[in-house]
Structure 1
Amino acid sequence: MFRKWRKWRESRNASLQLDAILASANPDALLADRNAWLVELGYWLRRDGRLAVDPDTGPDQANAPARSYPAHVRLRYLLQVLARHPDWADRFARTIRSIVRDNDPTSLFCDTGVASHPGFWGEMVDRLQARFLPPPPNRNDMAGLFALVFADESDADWVDGLDDDLIERIASALQAGAEDDRIMLEDTLAASIQVLASQVRATGLSQSIRSRLPGRVQDTPFFRLDAAIAALCEEGLAHDNEVFGHRLNYFRALLDGCLAAAQHVYDDLEENGVSVEVVFQIERMKVRLARIDLLLNAWVDPGRHSRHAHLMAELIRSTQARRSIAHLAGSSFAQLARKVVERSAETGEHYITRDRKEYGELLRAAAGGGLVTVVTVYLKFLIYGLHLDKFVEGLLASLNYAGSFLAIHFAHFTLATKQPAMTGPALAHRLDGAGRPEGREAFVDDTIAMIRSNAAAIFGNLAVVFPVALLVQWLASKLLGANLITPAKAIATIESFSILGPTPLYAAFTGVLLWLSSLIAGWADNWFALHRVHDVMAYNRRLRYVLGQGGAMKLADFWKRNLSGIAGNVSLGFLLGLGPEILSFFGPHMEVRHVTLSTGSVGTAIGVLGMDALRMPSLWLAVAGIALMGVLNVSVSFALAFNMAMRSRNLPRVDRRELSAAVRRRIVRHPMSLLIPPRVVPVSSHAPGDAA
């Protein structure tokens, strides 16, 4: 059993010896056997280890110039062996030519690296299947054969690195310079270009793309592609003919127009909301346009074999990218991620205070948020005191949190821990200009302002939630003669926040939930814009009949202003309430540790236990735990949002150490700027786009 397992592992890179491979070449064998023979040859080219120089090959191999790719050395060795054994060389050349002749090359040129499904999700399922089910070698599909022969990530590099001399020697060994071979290759390239052009035309004239382009459909470059490629591929038209040159230039101009139209669609998506399916269609069309350009270069000038090697290398890269789920998701979701992040950045700008007036308003809003949180804390104690089923408890807790967050939203209050997920993308936008001194200064200004704003919001929340929660319990005991929670529950509450327990893990988990809610808010805003829901509501016949024209418009404006906030707050409520219960059911036990809610809970517990609580070591461990909780809530959600913003915007590389040093220098020179805003606002901080 162990021997079989060892052989299975060795088979990943093992191959036959070259003499056995060459001796088994048979141009008359079944296609499956010939394809499998070529796959075995590919494994030999990638095989590790030094070559054993055949005495018959002479000293040339040993003295061959060293190349950066071992496959080049093996190719030279192969060519020398073929030169010394004419019988092997003849069978080798005829076998290779028969494989090329009997496998359909159009699928390789047109389909390799191009999504085969019309939608994102179908393509993702197909790629998942391709990762575990390689194509069988008994099909006459050159694309599938490519995937089997060139399975290593470095294959494209060594093929692209072939020099002209080696390419000429390979072509000579294959005896591939005959006129019929050249005509067959040119016809295949021309047919593949026509197929790709018709696919690009179909995508460009589809409703999802056409509706986002200006002007009449007849004026779009997609509409004229068919006639242009038909004229270019006219039978009997020589490539050195002047008419062919004019038609080629016109066709290339149309291709450039198609790329410009694709960019116009992207601009429309940026303004009116992103659809993953539309982005997927555009990305697939861009891949086809790039493929047409590669095929044109090889078709127009067939005498330059280096272009064929480059085309082959690009097909190998496309084949490997075709198996990548990450490549598909990255190309399709990047635009949506950027749109979601930009929505968060717009919201985050409102949370960054740059002068004392804004700072005071933020403190008042945070105090209001802390006041509402007191009600949330006591409702939470009431819900969990009922000892209901876990799912019911989670559902009621979700409704409690969602209602509280909505009240904070519509009262224009603020909850401190929600800010970092919004301010992260806003700060990432500043990196656009961080390579210049003025841009770097703007980034430092906003970094200090963000730290100050988050600190003020946390202080405003905690400065109200703790004393008010304590006061409510004190009044209940004085006026009603009863505690709102039992002493045992109060002690258990304090102990649950100890820094020595799982509180840090739960606090980091809560930071992830805070970040997820910001993504949901951005996605909801994108969905609203993409489907033009504002216009649908404003011009809805029945709404106008019930509310009147002005009322329907006001309702549409209300949802336009508040949908993102409602979606973010409701989703956060359900993530905090039901999220831990669902995750605990499927995996590890998790709980929520939110700094504002936890501070209110401790205030309530101290109100029940009285001054004796101050002598409890567990109280001070809980205080340390809550301090760390606040740091983790803020830092985890900020880090996730900031990192996503940088990735989605494809920002230029900046010297992070230099930026960090600039922030530290500002703090050392003006430490009070972390607590008190300046009297005069820096010019660089006035508008989000100034530094860009």
Structure 2
Amino acid sequence: MQLFRKRKKKKLDELFDAFYYEADYTSNNLEFLVDLVAHFRPEKKEKNQPPVSIQPLLDYLQENAVKRYAMSVYLRNVFQNRKFTSILTDSGIIRDAYFIREVRERLASKILPEQPEPDTLQFLLNQVFYKQKDFEWIQEISILEINELIVLLDLDTIYDNEEDSSNSAITEIVSGISLLIQRISGRALEQDVLIMVPEYENVQSPFESFEKKLDVIITKIVRQRNFSVSGTDPDYLDLVELLKGCHQIINTAFDNSAKFGISLRVNQSLLRIRQQLFRIDALLPLLAIDSDEDKRDNSIYLTIKLIKYNCRKNNIRRLMLDSTQTIAYEVTQHTAKTGEHYITESKKEYMHMLLTAMGGGLIVGFLCLFKVVLGKAGVSDFGHAFLYSMNYAFGFILIYLLGFTLATKQPAMTAAAIVKSIEGGLSDSVNDADRHRSFAILFSHLFRSQFIAFVGNVFVAFPVALVLIWSLQGVVGFQIVNQHKSDVLLTDLNPIESWAILHAAIAGVFLFLSGIISGSISNKIKHKKIYNRIKEHPILKISLGKEGAKSFATWIEAKWAGVASNFWFGVFLGSTASIGIFLGLNLDIRHITFAAGNMALGLFGGDFHSGWYPILMGILGIGMIGFVNFIVSFALSLWLALRSRDIPLSEVKYLFHSVWLYFRHKPISFFFPVKNS
């Protein structure tokens, strides 16, 4: 049985015959309007598809005067006295300062749409234009055709209801603007918004000034027969300027997020105000007309806008993009600053990276052995997850605090630094070749930094793990890594016989998430003014002294984001396998540095009698694991950074084309520092 039947499109003559002969065209029944819109609605939007034309409808109405009159009467009855203020003030505008709640409500409304009262315009639009993309083909219809339809049907404009001003469309528009500015004024005075714009602390609020000037305009409009003012009216022009001032405050607040940080809740509040201001931007021109043509054009403009607002009221994708852009910018702003330290240019920096990576490899060698020992603990899978997580977490924190380098932590931190350079290039007045060449050079610096970090990590982790297992086994007197464990460790590195590549990709995702956590915490520390809170804490000043409290505050501001991100990175790595066991899925992680240490343990456990095949596959696996770690974490971080700077993804192919050209020209610079590279 077919659950959802597809409604068959009717021909125009069939549709009008049923409408005229079988239905009461003086009623408010929406069936005819639903069928008429369905007749013109495209089955599927294709590329290069011509815009929808209503010329067949115009021709039919030209030839059928009786049905033309019937349709005119019908449309007047259907649209008469329908309220639409709520569409102007609410549809498509964030309703809640809490992002998750807003997403949940929109998702619920998508599945089971809200149905307003039947006498409202929103109810009509819900029934007739019920597809989310209906506004796209509607706004492509020729304005000339729409104008001809209005003339044929002798339809009123939004300015023509002279008998009852309380039910006029202009009254709805004015009410909508008034309600929007009142909501904005209230939200803009909240403390979490005010702290973002200290520059306006002693300045009269432009929102209040706009509200007062709007009252003046409303008084003028009520006195006019056509419910409007002239576009050159001084009060109207003042209103336009005041609206620009309102925008300036919100723009300043977003700009100040780099200085003060920003929380998701404050971001949502500012975004809601911005959306409301954009809505006023769209409605304000409707109050001013200078000719009869303006009346009709404005009426068409409002109709299309109402359809668009209603169709997009539950758009989750747009909400996600708008809500996360500023937060993403602030998160990547932190990683951009941190990432600059991971890109080597000179030989001195290159050698320093090698030394710090060797330090990281030294600690990872210990962590590999500790994990094998912890694996012998007689605890549950949850217990192993906890032990492994703490092993990784505190090891990574130690690497971070000692200033050592874990190779694959770099991409998550350096992607934003690269995009920052792209952003600078895009804003400079240089040709594409020069701009992209600069990116290629920077990328080569990053790649060789990553390469030497791999070398430092791997070539130290392997011998350290080998020496440690040999020493410990001599002390305890029994084999810590037996033949079975040896086979498991070596097989896990084989890219052909195991899921090593997938597990390396999972580790790459966690590397990306750790970068997000670092930037997010850094942003929160800045927004919550943690430095000043600690520095001026009365108990800390007594117990540590003023200088001690200041030093502690400085340390927290500089290091805490890194400590927290490394801790959670360790938790992610340590708990993945146990979660996989619980879910019955083959989940695990592979990281290049740990892979090198595990290979040493595996070879030792097999008394180095494993043969050449496991060794070759292990070496190949280590290289592929490192590449996947790098490419996944870098790609995700690059995507986030591009998103935060609103740089189109289409730019990426040109960027990497320039990288390829530069690699062909100077391949050695991608691995070693050379002059003029």
Is TM > 0.5 for Structure 1 vs Structure 2?
Answer: yes
Shift of 1:12: 8.6
Is 2:81 the counterpart of 1:140?
A: no
In structure 2, relative to structure 1, the CA distance for the partners of 1:492 and 1:347 (3 Å cut) is same
Q: Is the 1:137–1:144 contact (alpha carbons within 8 Å) kept by the matching residues of 2?
A: yes
1:203 aligns with 2:184: no
1:490 partnered with 2:472: no
Residue 568 (structure 2) aligns with: 571
Summarize deviations over 1:575-628 as a string: whole Å, max 9, x none.
001134235534632011111112101112222333323x25233222222221
Instruction: Give me the CA root mean square deviation.
Output: 2.8
Q: 1:261: how far off?
A: 0.7
Q: 373-382 or 600-609, which moves further after superposition?
A: 600-609
Separation in structure 1 between the aligned mates of residue 33 and residue 164 of structure 2, nearest angstrom: 22
The residue that corresponds to 1:176 in the other structure is 156
1:45 aligns with 2:43: no
The answer for the alignment partner of 1:441 in structure 2 is 437
Give the whole-Å Cα distance in 2 for the aligned partners of 1:180 and 1:159: 29
Residue deviations 1:17-63, cap 9 Å, x none?
3322344554664x6xx2455334322332669xxxxxxxxxxxxxx
Counterparts in 2 of 1:561-640, with a 5 A limit?
Answer: 561-586=558-583, 588-613=585-610, 615-640=611-636
Partner residue of 1:365 out of 343, 348, 356? 356
Q: Which residue of 2 aligns with 1:58?
A: none
Q: Do the aligned residues in 2 keep the contact of 1:283 with 1:332 (CA within 8 Å)?
A: yes
Deviation at 1:160, TM superposition (A): 5.3
Aligned partner of 2:391 among 379, 396, 400? 400
C-alpha separation in 2, matches of 1:14 and 1:469: 76
Deviates more, 1:313-322 or 1:380-389: 313-322
Q: 1:234-284: per-residue Cα shift (whole Å, max 9, x none)?
A: 155447878981110111111000011110000111222122222222222
* Sequence identity percentage: 25
Give the letter aligned to residue 225 of structure 1.
F
Partners of 2:345 and 2:673 within 8 A in 1:
yes
1:122 equivalent to 2:101? Answer yes
Could you list the per-position Cα deviations for residues 476-515 of structure 1 after superposition, in whole angstroms to 9, with x for gaps in the alignment? 4556654332232112211222121211111111111111
Is the Cα contact below 8 Å between 1:105 and 1:188 reproduced in 2? yes
- Deviations 1:357-378 (CA, angstroms, capped at 9, x unpaired): 1111111100010110111011
- The alpha carbon displacement at 1:179 in A equals 4.7
How far residue 465 of structure 1 moved from its aligned partner, in angstroms, is 0.8
Change in 2 beyond 3 A, CA 1:48/1:181:
farther
Q: Which residue of 1 aligns with 2:547?
A: 550
Rounded to whole Å, the distance in 2 between the matches of 1:387 and 1:450 is: 44
C-alpha deviations, 1:441-461, integer Å up to 9, x for none? 321221111110000001000
Q: In the alignment, what sits opposite 2:377?
A: 386
Q: Structure 1 residues 404 and 175 mapped into 2: Cα distance closer, same or farther (>3 Å)?
A: closer
Aligned length: 653
Quick check: 572-581 or 393-402, which moved more?
A: 572-581
Structure 1 gap ranges (5+)? 50-66, 683-692
TM-score (norm. length: structure 2): 0.89
Q: Counterparts of 1:137 and 1:116 in 2: how far apart (Å)?
A: 17
For 2:252 and 2:342, how far apart are their aligned partners in 1?
Answer: 33
1:69 is matched with 51
Report the counterpart of residue 225 of structure 1 in structure 2.
210
- Whole-Å separation in 2 of the counterparts to 1:335 and 1:285: 15
8 Å Cα contact 1:17/1:44 also seen in 2: no
* Distance in 1 (alpha carbons) for counterparts of 2:606 and 2:585: 32
Contact 1:522 1:564 in 2 (8 A): yes
The separation in 2 between residues aligned to 1:454 and 1:97, in whole angstroms, is 70
Give the 3-state SS of the residue equivalent to 2:80 in structure 1.
helix
2:308 is matched with 317
Partner of 1:463: 459
Matches within 5 A, 1:241-390: 245-301=233-289, 303=292, 304=294, 305-390=296-381
Is 1:374–1:468's contact at 8 Å kept on the other side of the alignment? yes
> In the alignment, does 2:72 pair up with 1:93?
yes
How much does 1:466 deviate?
0.6
What SS does the corresponding residue of 1:10 show, helix, strand or coil?
coil
C-alpha distance after superposition, 1:532-554 (max 9, x if no partner): 11111111122222222222111
Which one of the candidate residues 61, 79, 100 is aligned to 1:79? 61
In 1, distance between residues paired with 2:388 and 2:348? 36
Aligned match of 2:638:
642
Distance (whole Å) between structure 2 residues aligned to residue 446 and residue 47 of structure 1: 48
Report the CA distance between 1:666 and its aligned residue.
3.1
SS at match of 2:118: coil
Q: Which amino acid aligns with 2:65?
A: R
Conserved? CA contact 2:363–2:395, under 8 Å: yes
Contact 1:21 1:40 in 2 (8 A): no
- 1:155 is aligned, of 135, 153, 165, to 135
For residue 314 of structure 1, report the CA deviation from its aligned partner: 2.6
Moved more, 365-374 or 311-320: 311-320
Whether the 8 Å contact between 1:667 and 1:674 is mirrored in structure 2 is yes
Aligned mates of 2:230, 2:162 — CA distance in 1: 25
Tell me the CA shift for residue 671 of structure 1. 3.0
Contact 1:79-1:170 within 8 A present in 2 as well: no
Give me the whole-angstrom Cα distance separating, in 2, the residues matched to 1:14 and 1:625: 63
Larger displacement relative to structure 2 (435-444 or 124-133): 435-444
Q: 1:240 to 1:520 in 2, by over 3 A?
A: closer
**Counterpart residue number, 1:474:** 470
Cα distance in 2 for partners of 1:191, 1:78 equals 38
- Are the counterparts in 2 of residues 351 and 423 from structure 1 also a CA contact under 8 Å? yes
Using a 3 Å threshold, how does the CA distance of structure 1 residues 420 and 171 change in structure 2: closer, same or farther? same
